[in-house]
């Protein structure tokens, strides 16, 4: 009889809640959301941040940890890097930013195993996982290997992004992962001249789709150049401007997830 792949699922010792940040489409702000959510969650407990985007790891740069290296000790145990009070692991700490890693399926599954079993996460209330875009091997291996407590799907307002968000939602539904809701990123921009909301992307059918599926929209995060500047500089907005609207959005998101 064929074995059930979900039988391999094992909790990560010491880790209470695993929150996966996903999207169907690339470039919608998963890594930005993952980093800032992790920072916002510090108010509620101990936090880890795993960059599972093995194809294009962004978190070392976004978290200002580019030149850091995790310590590998006896028995290949890996001590995570610590930044802003958060324990972090990324393949980006181990390879040069410009080199492409060409992963074959089995290598990818092994790398995911190491992230979960060989990294000494210690006691964490929350482990936030930043996923690559899409619904491929990384996502599948995540849901098969560890019990994901909640999935957050990031999208931008327009239908082009919604089409792919639906696929991510479908994947979590099929694999039995609880979807906490959707983050609408770059939802609007506040006009600096008069404070009025401007629509950078046309509103699509996201709201009616979520109503019909009874999935919550967790937060609408505005577009603000200071968010991307923060990412470039390695100081996410929750850290650099904790009183701004964007940081407040991430704190609201954190509260809804705990
Ligand atoms: N609310 C925002 N306001 C301004 N810029 C933003 C916002 N959200 C994300 N960005 C910027 O958009 C770009 C893409 O964001 P990010 O890398 O987080 O997306 P991603 O979904 O993780 O992409 P990938 O699919 O490649 O992993 C980054 O330069 C980021 O700084
Ligand atoms: Mg990313």
Task: Indicate the average pLDDT of the chain.
Answer: 94
Residue 7 falls inside a structural domain: no
> What is the residue with the minimal CA distance to atom 15 of ligand 1?
29
Residue 223 falls inside a structural domain: yes
- pLDDT tens digits along 225-252: 999 999 999 999 999 999 999 999 999 9
Nearest-ligand number for the alpha carbon of 223: 1
Rounded to the nearest angstrom, the distance between the alpha carbon of 235 and the centre of ligand 1 is: 14
- Give the N- to C-terminal CA distance of the chain in Å, as an integer: 39
Other Cβ atoms closer than 10 A to 113: 13
Closest atom of ligand 1 relative to the 186 alpha carbon? 1
Residue 5 falls inside a structural domain: no
pLDDT category at 145 given cuts 50, 70, 90 is very high
Output the pLDDT for position 8. 80
- pLDDT tens digits along 159-185: 999 999 999 999 999 999 999 999 999
pLDDT category at 118 given cuts 50, 70, 90 is very high
Closest atom of ligand 1 relative to the 32 alpha carbon? 18
The answer to whether the CB of 65 is under 6 A from ligand 1 is no
Q: Which residues contact 147 (CB under 8 A, 6 or more apart)?
A: 9, 11, 18
Output the pLDDT for position 24. 92
Q: CATH number for the domain including 253?
A: 3.40.50.300
Nearest-ligand number for the alpha carbon of 161: 1
pLDDT category at 257 given cuts 50, 70, 90 is very high
Higher pLDDT, 154 or 3: 154
Handedness of CA 98, 104, 110, 116 (dihedral sign): positive
Residue 210 falls inside a structural domain: yes
Residue 3 falls inside a structural domain: no
Output the pLDDT for position 4. 78
The answer to whether the CB of 13 is under 6 A from ligand 1 is no
Output the pLDDT for position 187. 98
The answer to whether the CB of 152 is under 6 A from ligand 1 is no
Residue 4 falls inside a structural domain: no
Rounded to the nearest angstrom, the distance between the alpha carbon of 29 and the centre of ligand 1 is: 4
Output the pLDDT for position 96. 82
The percentage of residues in the chain with a pLDDT greater than 70, rounded to a whole number, is 99
User: How many angstroms separate the CA atoms of 123 and 25, rounded?
Assistant: 32
Report whether 168 contacts 179 (CB < 8 A): no
> What is the residue with the minimal CA distance to atom 12 of ligand 1?
29
Report whether 19 contacts 149 (CB < 8 A): yes
Closest atom of ligand 1 relative to the 222 alpha carbon? 1
Choice from 21, 22, 24, 27 to test ligand 1 binding pocket (greatest atom count within 8 A of CB): 27
Residue 185 falls inside a structural domain: yes
- pLDDT tens digits along 52-104: 999 899 999 999 999 999 998 888 899 999 999 999 999 999 888 887 778 78
- pLDDT tens digits along 10-26: 999 999 999 999 999 99
For 55, the token pair is 């194809």
Going by their DSSP bridges, the two strands 71-73 and 77-79 should be labelled as antiparallel
Output the pLDDT for position 7. 77
Output the pLDDT for position 2. 62
Residue 8 falls inside a structural domain: no
Q: Domain tally for the chain?
A: 1
Residue 101 pairs in a beta bridge with: none
Closest atom of ligand 1 relative to the 132 alpha carbon? 27
pLDDT for 46 beyond 80: yes
Helix axes 159-174, 137-145, angle to 10 degrees: 30
pLDDT for 1 beyond 70: no
Closest atom of ligand 1 relative to the 226 alpha carbon? 4
Determine the structural domain holding residue 170 and report its residue range. 13-257
Rounded to the nearest angstrom, the distance between the alpha carbon of 153 and the centre of ligand 1 is: 14
- Rounded to an integer, the average pLDDT of 180-208 is 96
The answer to whether the CB of 227 is under 6 A from ligand 1 is yes
């Amino acid at each position: 009889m064929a074995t059930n792949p979900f039988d391999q699922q094992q909790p990560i010792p010491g880790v209470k809640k695993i929150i996966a940040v996903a999207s169907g489409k690339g470039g919608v702000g998963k890594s930005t959301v993952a980093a800032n959510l992790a920072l916002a969650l510090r108010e509620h407990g101990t936090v880890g941040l795993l960059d599972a985007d093995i194809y294009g790891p962004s978190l070392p740069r976004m978290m200002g940890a580019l030149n850091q290296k995790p310590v590998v000790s006896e028995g290949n145990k890996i001590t995570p890097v610590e930044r802003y009070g958060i324990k972090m692991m990324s393949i980006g700490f181990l390879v040069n930013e410009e080199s492409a890693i060409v992963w074959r399926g089995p290598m990818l599954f092994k790398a995911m195993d190491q992230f979960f079993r060989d990294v000494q996460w210690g006691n964490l209330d929350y482990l936030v996982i930043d996923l690559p875009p899409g619904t491929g091997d990384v996502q599948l291996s995540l849901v098969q290997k560890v019990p994901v407590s909640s999935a957050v799907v990031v999208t931008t307002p327009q239908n082009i992004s919604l089409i792919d968000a639906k696929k991510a939602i479908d994947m979590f539904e099929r694999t039995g992962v609880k979807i906490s809701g959707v983050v609408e990123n770059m939802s609007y921009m506040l006009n600096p001249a008069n404070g009025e909301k401007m629509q950078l992307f046309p509103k699509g059918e996201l709201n009616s789709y979520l109503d019909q599926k009874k999935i919550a929209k967790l937060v609408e995060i505005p577009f603000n150049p200071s968010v991307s500047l923060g990412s470039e500089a390695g100081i996410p907005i929750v850290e650099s401007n904790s009183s701004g609207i964007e940081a407040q959005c991430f704190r609201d998101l954190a509260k809804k997830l705990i």
